[in-house]
Amino acid sequence: MVLPVIRQYGVINIYLGADSMPSRLQLANAIRALSMDAVQRANSGHPGAPMGMANIAEVLWNDFLQHNPANPQWFNRDRFVLSNGHGSMLLYSLLHLSGYNLSIDDLKQFRQLNSHTAGHPELAHALGIETTTGPLGQGLANAVGIAIAEQTLAHQFNRSGHTLIDHFTYVFLGDGCLMEGISHEACSLAGTLGLGKLVACYDDNGISIDGEVEGWFNDDTPQRFAAYGWQVIPAIDGHDTNAIYAALKQARGNTSQPTLICCKTLIGFGSPNKQGKAVCHGAPLGVAEIALTRKALDWPYDAFEVPADIYQAWNARDTGAEVEQDWNQRFKAYHAAHSELSDQLLRRISGTLPTCFNVDADAHITELQSAGATVASRQASQHTLNTLGPMLPELLGGSADLAGSNLTLWQGCKSINKIDASGNYIYYGVREFAMSAIMSGIALHGGFIPYGATFLVFMEYARNAVRMAALMRQRVLFVYSHDSIGLGEDGPTHQPVEQLANLRLTPNLDTWRPCDTVESAVAWKAGLQRQDSPTALIFSRQKLPHQERNQDQVAAIARGGYTLYDCDGLPECLIIATGSEVSIAMQAAAELSQQGRRVRMVSMPCTSVFERQSAEYREQVLSAAITARVAVEAAHQDYWYKYVGLQGKVIGISEFGSSAPASQLYERYGITVAAVVTAVNELV
């Protein structure tokens, strides 16, 4: 598309008459009008960013973005991420104007109950919303993950004469995103990996909620990103269409580096009394100011009114259908030349596992039960990866500088880098937060099942990214080792206490804490099978004894909780345990049985999975008639009262740990066989 020569404009000359207003400015003003109208109608929202970034968005969406509004999930589409998610009306206006299934009535329902236009964008691929954004900086990290997925998938599947995976990831971001530490983590890695199809447009308007940012944010952002290894295009007038076009063209021309385009903009552009001021960041302009803004922008239309010629100029359905059809033809040629690869790609895009997976995974579990090995569950995890990994080319693993401790490297791992991205493992460096958000981006892109690891206690660095994965129901596996005071000498800074409860209380997240090799393999199988939500896998540093089971007990592990030890008749006491404490509970159960107590011991590797079982099964395991109950876990005690009741007892820890060998710590904090026996005898 050849750009018309247009007049440059800015704060001093926004009052343009209809005769002189360029058509592209009219297209951008449609965004501004819809944004300020929707925020005003809701009496809530952020009009400033959409109005300030309207020109940038217009050029990107009308001249560069490869997408099809009639099929928002077309796989080779360019991805657009609005990291400064408070400016959601920018995205909603773009989707509506360009022809997505987002109506003017949807815009009128901005921020209302059950609306498609929530206060911050919420993942809805069918509507063209690529990710949920709002916590600043995470959308940027998601975009890095999407770009990693595109680059890696291209290296894995593209062949000479057949460029099948070939799309860009565009992300809009603001000052707030760059102030957040996650932006450093993610963008540093993006530069290292040479993500040349990642283009970030920085809305440099100098304003945040508290006012002019120069008092608390005066970084040399271009130098910062240049140091990361990015291509930086500085000081672009974000209201100059020609300058924006040239910058985006330059960005696309460099596919060896990610690009940051620094766009100087005026927040609330067009508002005579509020543009450039914090007052328009997060509040409606007001009826009177909107009237003045309409006059200033020469937009003589009623609220939510867009003229037909503007709609026609924005509509991308015809061009979108053409680019998708072209890709479909390329895919046919690719399939003819590389049928096995194309079949694998389609399977991976659909998210289905290989047909052999269940059979092979179950055979592995059976083998482990027979072998009876006593190893740390982190080692059991690695053994399972060595078995399952070769059949899962979609696995894209990684660790936050702890691969040798988390044991997430398996024999078939190959790291990705800027030269060769065809591998299946990412060395994330000490970047727990970015790693976790990047994995969501990888999952959002499709074609991969990402997993990433750190110590359990350092989940805290990444907590909000874990929450966002759960909120978006992404197929992400968070691997956490060194799960308790059992890690020993590293001390309380490294010993998790409250983290397990935190994870278990997170909606949509399944948290598995297995007790041996068999439960570890079942946990991996369950996490890999789960397509609609994330999973946390919790592993020990110390060795865990193998538990004997019959075939039915092995099968019951997948139900999240099951009876591992039982007595004849109705038990008089019930012991519940997880992970490393299952062996302690089993020893206590044996001793109590010798004392004549009727004991049932329940292993509960995943409480959320157990709670999704039928009422009949849950009653079978945790019989209501058994009121004497003890829970055992080297973690915060409070979570377990939901299972033992206020009259029950919990053997656990509710204070920070200490630096000492693990065996001494278990004695010091009273997580022992003797403590369990005593607790049961006090209740019965």
How far apart are alpha carbons 562 and 64 in whole angstroms?
55
Residue with tokens 């952002």: 221
| Nearest in space to 394 (alpha carbons), one of 332, 445, 429, 436 | 445
How far apart are alpha carbons 520 and 554 in whole angstroms?
12
437 alpha-carbon distance from chain centroid: 5
- Known catalytic residues? 432
318-322-328 Cα angle (round to 5): 140
Compute CA distances 225 → 164, 232, 329, 503, whole Å. Answer: 30, 7, 39, 34
The tokens for 555 are: 């099968």
- Asked whether 96 and 316 are in contact (CB, 8 A), the reply is no
3-state SS record for 409-470: CCCCCCECCCCCCCCCEEECCCCHHHHHHHHHHHHHHCCCEEEEEEEHHHHHHHHHHHHHHH
- The neighbour count for residue 555, using CB atoms within 10 Å, is 14
Helix (H) / strand (E) element for 591: namely: helix 581-594
- Asked whether 466 and 141 are in contact (CB, 8 A), the reply is no
- Residue 367's φ and ψ, nearest 5 degrees, are -65, -40
Cα torsion through 137, 140, 142, 145, rounded to 10 = -130
138 alpha-carbon distance from chain centroid: 8
Residue with tokens 């997993």: 451
- DSSP-derived secondary structure for 619-684: HHHS-TT---EEEE-SS-SGGGHHHH-TTSEEES--S---SS-HHHHHHHTT-SHHHHHHHHHHH-
The tokens for 596 are: 């004549």
Burial classification of residue 308, based on how many CB atoms lie within 10 Å of its CB (0-12 exposed, 13-18 middle, 19 or more buried): exposed
The tokens for 340 are: 């096995």
How far apart are alpha carbons 253 and 647 in whole angstroms?
68
- Asked whether 72 and 130 are in contact (CB, 8 A), the reply is no
The tokens for 566 are: 């039982």
How far apart are alpha carbons 645 and 649 in whole angstroms?
8
How far apart are alpha carbons 345 and 448 in whole angstroms?
10
Amino acid, res. 531: Q
232-233-238 Cα angle (round to 5): 135
